[in-house]
Structure 1
């Protein structure tokens, strides 16, 4: 299990545009992706399209 802090930092860096999802270590990519999706963002750190 990985530290939630490492996942949170990675998410923050993606949102800030300082890191890309591809730069995230493979071991935490699934957790980072699910965290981004939970806050309505894609792996590029931009809002997911709204479905109507």
Structure 2
């Protein structure tokens, strides 16, 4: 599910604030691993 949210953030459909708290850190790590720190803020 974290990958789905990361994809939605990359496509501009969601923001990191809209990600449920339980998986927000996982999504943040995925975005950082993809060299997209600006989307993880």
TM normalised by structure 2 equals 0.87
For structure 2, the residue ranges without an aligned partner over 5 or more in a row are none
TM normalised by structure 1 equals 0.70
Q: Return the index of the structure with the highest Cα Rg.
A: 1
Q: In the comparison of the two structures, how many residue pairs are matched?
A: 40
Q: Which has the higher helix share?
A: 2
RMSD of aligned C-alpha atoms? 1.4
For structure 1, the residue ranges without an aligned partner over 5 or more in a row are 1-5, 46-52
After the TM superposition, list the runs of 4 or more consecutive aligned residues in structure 1 that deviate by more than 6 angstroms.
none
More relative contact order, 1 or 2 (CA 8 Å, 6+ apart): 2
